[in-house]
Structure 1
Amino acid sequence: MKSIHSLSGSKVLKTLFLSAVFAISMPVFAMNLQQAMSALPNAKTQGLVGEQLNGYLGVVQSSPEAESIAKLINDARRAEYTRLAKENNIAVADVEAMAGQKAVERTSRGHYILLDGNWIQKR
């Protein structure tokens, strides 16, 4: 194998360019928050995740996708609840409870909610 020092300047640039193109073109396996938000409606419809009274998503049917969606969205919710609590000088738990109640109320028919420790489809 040739070292980078034994290649000519144009070959070095070509090698670096091809390496960069390869790295950029590789599929991204990790989901980001925007992708999780986009996937959330379908995940709820499929019964993978549901709303909880604590203000966070729960995993109804365990899968890597469901776990990732719930984690990313819950992390964002936690940050927002913390911000709102500080801004309004109230406990984070109070914000979580209010958000959870609203989320459960707004959950569409057929989607899952956690009540009394059991996942049920909202009617």
Structure 2
Amino acid sequence: MKKFLLTVSALLVSLSSWALELDSAKQMGLVGEQSNGYLGLVATGNNDAAALVVDINQQRKQKYQDIAAKQNTGLANIEKIAGEKLTQKAAASGEYYQDASGNWAR
């Protein structure tokens, strides 16, 4: 379990490779973290933000699949853990996240 949590933590750190663009989009309220471990579009109508969401989610899914394979667990388990950590982080920093009812909160 400890190895599993370390791996997920490493994943979250590696997500910072998109930091500048992603941070800007989060600060502007264009995107937010969803409980499923993926980024969501908060504000519709911004093509750059929509493209960022698609790009990051593709990369996240690949990383989640890699971790799931290494840990011999289901993809849904990794997505759930990542989603919990990412939404907690977003909530703590005042960024948008999707609450349990599926609404965007800050």
TM-score > 0.5, shorter chain as reference:
yes
**Counterpart mapping for 1:32-51 below 5 A:** 37-51=19-33
Following TM superposition, by how much is the alpha carbon of 1:110 offset from its aligned partner in structure 2, in angstroms?
A: 2.5
* 2:104 alignment partner in structure 1: 119
Q: Which runs of 4+ in 1 moved over 3 A?
A: none
* 1:69 alignment partner in structure 2: 52
* 2:37 alignment partner in structure 1: 55
Match among 81, 90, 94 for residue 77 of structure 2: 94
Listed as ranges, the gaps of 5+ residues in structure 2 are 1-16
Following TM superposition, by how much is the alpha carbon of 1:38 offset from its aligned partner in structure 2, in angstroms?
A: 2.7
- Aligned residue pair count: 88
Structure with larger Rg: 1
Match among 96, 105, 109 for residue 93 of structure 2: 109
Question: How many percent identity over aligned positions?
Answer: 37
Listed as ranges, the gaps of 5+ residues in structure 1 are 1-34
- RMSD of Structure 2 on Structure 1 (CA): 1.8
Provide TM-score, normalisation by structure 1.
Answer: 0.67
- Measured against aligned partners, the alpha-carbon deviations of 1:49-102 in whole angstroms (never above 9, x if no partner) come to 000110000000021011011110000000000000000000000000000001
More helix by share: 2
